[in-house]
Chains A and B, each alone.
Chain A
């Protein structure tokens, strides 16, 4: 499975046509529409369901508080089954029936549209405002995630040996080239790089390679869960002391705990706080727990924060008296500086380009079955 830019550009064509329809300023009082191609079934459903709940909850909070400057925020989702053609169909359907201002895509793409867009992908390629002017990533891109990990490694054990283990997919290969260079800059040694075929189960060959390289830290990327537990268990059996680390899609609490005993001490980068965290500076988490007392995934947080940032951008655009098109909305989004997310992200955020390059290292504690903070919030920047 991978999370990549599958529908990238595919929509661009037809989307330009819709752009003309959605471009002009809307009359006061009209609903503001947040459309969504959300994978509520299929292989990526575990994330889609969370994203959907997160967006719905924040939209409800906004509307309960009177909407955005008196205008109701309306969320129009459509299931895609994580299929490109269904995703594009959903996009056409939603943009055809509504005047859409904001859009959440299950992969990425929809570039060139005059609609402010975010999605479930953290693809490094999207983090390019020239190429994707109306798009943003809710969190750091995959490269920035790995760089946050590397920064943490360099701070805790200067000169450490690092290994990259990644899947042979667009998602997996995404951060590797840049991360290699970044590791060098930080004075770290890249001991080995192992690319596993997609969907591989037997990793014993790779484990031997990894053992020979004997890295102090092993960073996994391009997986959700399998084959990480297999790697970790086999390496531990061999008596290796390497510290294992993951990126966003692996880092959901329930996902890490599925590794069982192997989870103990597993670390990774997370741009958002976990659902169960209590902090004086995180009132929004209290609010979320009021709405949903049961544990919500990191995908939920991603959806929730996406809706929050889109709302903020809309508010700022309306305040400036400008029409709600992609250009103005993105400019408003980029004017966000030292913004308090209510504690979803534990540090005030500034969105300069297309990403929010902030994250924190968490460590798995199998006794409490929770991911606990292992570092302060780390900001990286291009």
Chain B
């Protein structure tokens, strides 16, 4: 709680952004995001789009795992469902991309609800294993249906907006980043509603939640559905971004990637999804840049390649040990420090 921010109504107290400074910084951030494509090169634009997609999907997983306490390793499979839905709609019907993305989200959400059914009986690691089973089934379907193009997958034509093909990172940025921002805003608002609070209650103690009048089945499935909807839309964006979808585009390791992202970023916080996805996507690339700056011969660079992977792994382990609440907690501490600056806590 910061000083000088007295609230006079419940609305003000529950507001998403409660201080003038916060709103000011948001405007700055929005301006920076809008200006970014004009100053960044292809490479950074590409990374920005990739990060935005990962943020969207990580946020979805955070709703399920971070807020509702249901561990899932099926996020990649749900992204696959969304991506394939978009690819199939785009190639066969050629419907507008907004519709395709929504359809991708809905199909993934339905898949998520089905996969979520065992969650009423099993929890924790058991649930994680049952979601792995789901992703194996999804992979099998992707690889063996004629609709999905078998093992060679589907090529996706670019999304079109008013006749303009969104076929470069620059153009896709204007689709991907706003969609991701919208999804973030929706997720943040979700936890100001009864539904979001029910999720948190289930995470904290599901039996107590039920005693309090929260139907577990309904809310657990809702959480699965919402989370998969996010994954599906992210998968759809992924399909438009990479323009090819194959069964091997969404491996199990990708689900682990998202789980790692929310753990590193901070479970049960929206900021955690953002920071985690940024960290997991950007740090390997930054490490490459750093190694690139070192005055080394190419052979030496080759020797250092595995070292980079090890450093990345060590960073993750380090965060888990020294900051179990994730990057979001570090962020909060830094903020607190500046709120009181020049005084110390």
Contact = CB atoms under 8 A, between A and B. Distances in A.
Contacts of B43: 89, 92-93, 96-97
A18 interface: yes
A300 to B, nearest CB: 13
B126 to A, nearest CB: 24
Contacts of B288: 78-79
Contacts of A17: 42, 167-170
* Chain A interface category by residue count: 35 or more
A86 B242 CA distance: 12
Nearest to B49: A14
A56 B302 CA distance: 12
Contact of B167 (A8, A16, A89, A93): A16
A56 B168 contact: no
B168 A6 contact: no
B169 A92 contact: yes
B243 A81 contact: no
B37 interface: no
Interface in A105-155: 109, 125
Interface in A151-177: 168-170, 172-173
B128 interface: no
B168 A16 contact: yes
Contact of A170 (B46, B246, B284): B246
Interface centre among A6, A13, A52, A168 (most CB of B within 10 A): A13
B249 A170 contact: no
B302 A88 contact: no
Contacts of A13: 158, 167-168, 243
B306 interface: yes
B152 interface: yes
B244 A9 contact: yes
Interface string A182-201: 00000000000000000000
A207 interface: no
A168 B308 CA distance: 32
Given A13-B243, A16-B167, A89-B50, A170 B42 contact: no
Contacts of B169: 14, 17, 92
Interface centre among A79, A84, A173 (most CB of B within 10 A): A79
Contacts of B152: 4-5, 125, 170
Contacts of B110: none
Interface in B144-164: 150-153, 155-156, 158
Contact of B248 (A4, A49, A93, A173): A4
Interface string B261-291: 0000000000000000000000011001000
Contact of B155 (A2, A8, A78, A172): A8
Interface in B11-54: 41-43, 46-47, 50
B4 to A, nearest CB: 44
A92 B42 CA distance: 6
A170 B305 contact: no
A15 B321 CA distance: 42
B91 interface: no
Interface of A: 2, 4-10, 12-14, 16-18, 40-41, 45, 49, 52, 56, 75, 77-79, 81, 84-86, 88-89, 92-93, 95-97, 109, 125, 168-170, 172-173
Given A8-B244, A89-B43, 17 more contacts: A4-B151, A4-B246, A4-B248, A7-B244, A13-B158, A13-B167, A16-B167, A17-B42, A17-B168, A41-B305, A52-B298, A75-B298, A84-B242, A89-B46, A92-B43, A168-B143, A173-B150
7 smallest A-B Cβ distances: which pairs? Answer: A10-B242, A170-B151, A13-B167, A92-B43, A93-B43, A9-B244, A17-B168
26 contacts: A4-B151, A4-B152, A6-B246, A6-B248, A6-B249, A9-B155, A9-B156, A9-B242, A10-B242, A10-B243, A12-B243, A13-B168, A14-B46, A14-B168, A41-B306, A45-B305, A56-B298, A78-B288, A79-B305, A81-B284, A86-B284, A89-B285, A125-B152, A168-B143, A170-B152, A172-B151
